[in-house]
Amino acid sequence: MKITSALLFLLCLVWQVPAGAVSNAERSEHGMVVSANAASSAVGVAIMKRGGNAIDAAVAVAFSLAVTHPTAGNIGGGGFLVYQGSEGSPVAYDFRETAPGASHPEMWLVDGQYSYERHHLSHLSVGVPGTVAGLYLAWQDAGSLPWADLLAPAIEQAKKGIVVTDGLARSLEHVLPRMQKYPASVAKFTNEGTPLAAGEVWRQPDLAATLKRIADKGPDGFYRGRTADLIVAEMQRGGGIITHEDLAGYAAKRRAPVRGSYRGYDVLSMPPPSSGGVAIVEMLNILEGYDLAASGFGSARSLHLMTEAMRRAYADRARYLGDPDYVEMPLARLTSKDYAAELRGTIDPEKASFSSPESFTWPAESKQTTHFSVVDKDRNAVSLTYTLEYSYGSAIVVPGGGFLLNNEMGDFNAGPGLTDSTGLIGTSANLAEPGKRMLSSMSPTIVNRDGEVFMVTGTPGGRTIINTVLQTILNVIDHGANAQTAVDLGRIHHQWLPDVIEMEKLAFSPDTIRMLEAQGHRIEEIDDQGVAEVILVNDGVLEGGVDRRQWDGGVAGY
């Protein structure tokens, strides 16, 4: 649908976002998918056109992204899915990777010294994958088409090949040095050592065969039999510790979403082992006490208040959050309006407060997750974020299996007592233990209005995920942005420590930056922050916003 410039101007006045910042959103009536790959979004819509629902589409898109978007789309990683059906209670599916049975808190030490290589770039950094089990659990609960039909498009893409895009070719060039020590990885991602070039057709026959086993046998096609044998053989070859028992024992979990409200809208997001939902609700509760719409998008006052909310929520995140099956957490308090009011009492509206580094900081998490949003004709909604941790995960392709393994164990803390000023963490809530899930920031989120789905949002980006999701929500609810504008507008990030506001380049005025600095904030410019994928439901019309910060993303609808 085309919007005339006069209408755009009027919308700008109503929406209170800067005139130049309003973007056209894609619109459709029945169903929509927004993902990091346009062809995978189209796979989801084709499933819905055949009568599939949002869960069917999400399963098909997730498997398709494992073929088209190898930086983060996966079967060898893990993630989270928040589902809001048009009927029944919402459910959060937790398919985060787990620590293998032989894990222990000191596993990243070599001769008593912390080893980054061991923690992030070795076979020991591979967690037991959760994606296949999680997608299957969600499908068992709410899918409607046969399981195998949902894998068929991905198998076809892997077998017949996909066209390598400019973005994929560039990213492969970047990762190839890291893959050199793994022959199966080089074989998969090059033509006998020559990087895949944009425009060529890339076939993945081993991945197609693995997907076919999963199509035929469900999770047993991954966690048992040939695929499990191939994973365990690679672990033994490379000094990893994942066993057949670890794989056969993996279980995805249903959890109750974290719930909050913001100016009359209901917010559902991912509970621990994600830190995202709790932090988003805490920040929204704090910010509800201020009139951000009156302060305006990008004003020094709005950015100051957002920063102070971020600082406080990230400090709590660092202090309290971990795997709920291993750690006690004060979740009710952290997400309460009363606690937010207490925190507001500590915010000076004119002056930056101060993050104290004396206790602990927070480990870095990778930027390479991927998120997609799905809404179907019955207004069932799926918000799904999954990851391999680093871009291309561990960079280890399972020989004969054709898929990448994650390096998610790097999201556990470094070791007991290892907290230091370089950012190493030694606090206990997130130390490696057998079967434990490592803390995450992934925050698939759904916002409801009057009991119906209004917004489906999420983003990749490690720690920045939480703040990116927060800002897409504020952009829509406080500043009246449409779905595309909500993702296009500039973003900031503050995570308590280091005590600095990261701001996207050219996104905010120099005057605003000077005012923030005068209040005591330290500012650093960054190129970009995350890529959000948003669907809004407005008067029955689906509106998609796909982030232009990424290479291949796309909205598909019908």
Query: Can residue 440 be called a binding residue for ligand GLY (CB under 6 A)?
Result: yes
Q: Which of 131, 210, 307, 369 is catalytic?
A: 369
CB of 462 to ligand GLY, least distance (A): 5
Phi, psi dihedrals of residue 496, rounded to the nearest 5°: 75, -65
CB of 276 to ligand GLY, least distance (A): 8
From the CB of 441, what's the least distance to ligand GLY, in Å? Answer: 4
Q: Which two tokens stand for residue 515?
A: 């005012």
| 95 vs 339 by CB, closer to ligand GLY | 95
Question: Site for ligand GLY (CB under 6 A): which residue of 94, 97, 411, 499?
Answer: 411
User: What tokens were used for 153?
Assistant: 């498009």
Q: Choose the stretch contacting ligand GLY; rule: CB under 6 A; options: 135-143, 246-254, 331-339, 436-444.
A: 436-444
CB within 8 A of 5, min separation 6: which ones?
Answer: none
Under rule CB under 6 A, how many of the chain's residues touch ligand GLY? 10
Contact indicator for 434, 327 with CB cutoff of 8 Å = no
C-beta separation of 124 from 33 below 8 A: no
Q: How far apart are CA 525 and CA 528, in angstroms?
A: 9
Could you tell me if residue 112 is left (phi over 0), alpha (psi between -120 and 50 degrees) or otherwise beta? left
Report the DSSP beta bridge partners of residue 259: 268
- CA gap 240, 122 in Å, rounded: 8
Q: Which is nearer to ligand GLY, 389 or 552 (CB)?
A: 389
If the CB atoms of residues 212 and 367 are measured against ligand GLY, the closer one turns out to be 367
* Token pair 């050219």: residue: 506
Q: 323 or 411: whose CB is closer to ligand GLY?
A: 411
Determine whether 457 is an active site residue.
Answer: no
Nearer to ligand GLY, 265 or 326 (CB): 326
Residue 464 sits in the site that holds ligand GLY (CB under 6 A)? no
**Considering only residues 97, 389, 488, 504, which one is a binding residue for ligand GLY as defined by CB under 6 A?**
389
Q: DSSP for 377-440, please give it.
A: TT--EEEEEEE-SSTTTTS-BPTTT--BPP-GGGGS-SSTT---TTS----GGG---TTPBPPB
| HEC letters along 497-515 | CCCCEEEECCCCCHHHHHH
Options 54-62, 116-124, 321-329, 434-442: segment touching ligand GLY (CB under 6 A): 434-442
Q: Pick from 283, 310, 442, 481: which binds ligand GLY (CB under 6 A)? A: 442
Minimum Å distance from CB 488 to ligand GLY? Answer: 23
| Residue from 461, 272, 462, 269 nearest 362 by CA | 462
If one asks whether residue 387 binds ligand GLY (CB under 6 A), the answer comes out as yes
Q: Which residues pair with 437 in a beta bridge?
A: 98
Nearer to ligand GLY, 232 or 465 (CB): 465
Query: In the window 316-375, what residues touch ligand GLY (CB under 6 A)?
Result: 365-366, 369
Of 502, 326, 443, 310, the closest CA to residue 318 belongs to: 310
529 contacts ligand GLY (rule: CB under 6 A)? no
Q: Does 211 bind ligand GLY (CB under 6 A)?
A: no
State the nearest-atom distance from the C-beta of 366 to ligand GLY, in Å. Answer: 5
Token pair of 398, please?
């399972």
Q: Which two tokens stand for residue 194?
A: 């020559």
* Burial of 319 from C-beta contacts in 10 A (0-12 / 13-18 / 19+): middle
* In the complex, least distance from residue 465 CB atom to ligand GLY, rounded to whole angstroms: 6
Judged by CB under 6 A, which stretch of 18-26, 134-142, 162-170, 438-446 contacts ligand GLY? 438-446
Q: Which is nearer to ligand GLY, 17 or 135 (CB)?
A: 135
Compare residues 284 and 321 and give the one whose CB is closer to ligand GLY.
321
Residue 462 engages ligand GLY in binding (rule: CB under 6 A): yes
CB atoms within 10 A of CB 57: 32
User: What is each CA distance from 230 to 184, 285, 348, 489, in whole angstroms?
Assistant: 12, 48, 57, 45
Assess 288 for contact with ligand GLY (CB under 6 A): no
Closest separation in Å from C-beta 331 to ligand GLY: 18
SS3 label, residue 478: coil
How far, in whole angstroms, is CA 501 from its chain's centroid?
Answer: 21
The gap from C-alpha 527 to its chain's centroid, in whole angstroms, comes to 19
Integer Cα distance of 178 and 190 in angstroms: 13
Tell me the sheet residues that pair with 258: 269
Give the residue nearest to ligand GLY (CB): 440
Nearer to ligand GLY by Cβ, of 221 and 462: the residue is 462
Stretch that binds ligand GLY, among 206-214, 226-234, 248-256, 439-447 (CB under 6 A): 439-447
Judged by beta carbon, residue 329 or residue 352, the one nearer ligand GLY is 329
Q: How far is the CB of 180 from ligand GLY (least distance, A)?
A: 24
Burial of 444 (0-12, 13-18, 19+ CB in 10 A): buried
- The CB-of-220 to ligand GLY minimum distance in angstroms stands at 26
Q: Work out how close the CB of 389 gets to ligand GLY at its nearest, in angstroms, rounded to a whole number.
A: 4
Interface contacts to ligand GLY, rule CB under 6 A = 365-366, 369, 387, 389, 411, 440-442, 462
Active site residues: 369
